[in-house]
Amino acid sequence: MTDPTQYMSFVKSGLLAIYVYYMLNKFETTYSIHHPLEILIQEMTLSDFLKHPIYKSVYESKVCPFGKLCGTLMALFLVIRYILPAPYIYNISLILWILFIVGSLVLNLNVFVYLIPAAIIDICFILPNICKT
């Protein structure tokens, strides 16, 4: 990572990792966004691992334990992905963002809203600089 552009991409990825971790693990709000499928999944789920507050105006995190775990893993990946060869970084990052976005769209619309800015910034601005040849 001798190129200054790649170094700045590393710094930006670190900031993005902090954002993802904070939004999915520490951020609390009274607002909740949900859709009918999300409510159905909440009622069908036997485990508390996928349950998150719906219809509550209580100031708390609106992310389930599964979402918090995924947020932590994604934040770690955003920082350590620089040990991979450049072509793999782009492909793996893109696949993970698609999985996160689709998964959050189905399971928790709050997380979907939280992740959209991070995914756009990473895919449009950071990844192209990492993978320059």
72-123 residue pLDDT tens: 999 999 999 888 777 788 888 899 999 999 999 998 999 999 999 999 998 8
Helices (H) then strands (E): counts for the chain: 6, 0
> Which of helix, strand or coil describes residue 133?
coil
* Residues in CB range of 35: below 8 A, 6 or more apart: 109
Tally of CB atoms within 10 A around 104? 23
Kindly report, residue by residue over 24-39, the tens digit of the pLDDT: 999 999 988 888 888 7
Angle between helices 65-80 and 86-107 (to 10 degrees): 170
Single pTM value for the model = 0.88
